Structure 1
Amino acid sequence: MTKAKRTNEERIVARIARVRASYEKARSDKSKSADYKYLESVLAAHDYFDERNLLDSLTEIAPCALMTSVRSGQHPIRTIIDSSCADVDPRTKSRWTRALQFAILRSIAPDDLIRFLRATMALRDALTWRAR
């Protein structure tokens, strides 16, 4: 029996469901490392969509299939975050989005994200302390 090809919408919804499951696990754990694991899954989803040229489809599919609003010019990372966690304050979502955008610019793999974020935050904290 031949397996039918999945549509772009089915691929996007399935991947977002995996990210939501990661968020639910992180929310029940309530530790900082759990948040890192969630962000790792967001970055992995972004890489998945990017490799399969689904980023444009994500912004088209998100409003109807995922019940997520998408603003004009919104980064796909923010769309993934908005569609996977609704009960996080916008300020935190913005910080997560900026951190992951920075990781994408640096070509960080999802497996290396936790180490990268910890190193980046340590550097930021040191520079902030030095500026005081």
Structure 2
Amino acid sequence: MKRIHRILLNLFPIYALLTIGCFSSCRTAHIPEKQETAISGNILIVFYDAETGKSDLLSAAKKYGSRIIYSYKNFNGIAITLPSDKGVEESIRYYQRVKGVLSVTPDRNLELNETKTPIK
């Protein structure tokens, strides 16, 4: 028993150094302090009710002068351009009144403000 105790006491400094070395090499993930968003141009993202479908929305877009640039496959939404003579707020109000539309938001670019060196 004394021999095991003596071996453990001799190995303790080694285990302590290994533990300290492991913890000192760990880094936590950097969480950005601030996110900045900017409207990415003249594009709106429109989500619609699956039961109603998108036929009314597509007709309204054509009538309004918008062009469909993308139709999402994993969820019920489309990306459309704004007509050159219409503003963002005016277009949002127009599409919100279309039957089956759930939400209308401008497409946004998201920029992360990196203040520290990223983890490698």
What TM-score, normalized to structure 1?
0.25
Which structure has more relative contact order (CA 8 Å, sep 6+)? It is 2
Q: Which structure dedicates a bigger proportion of its chain to strand?
A: 2
Q: Which structure dedicates a bigger proportion of its chain to helix?
A: 1
What TM-score, normalized to structure 2?
0.26
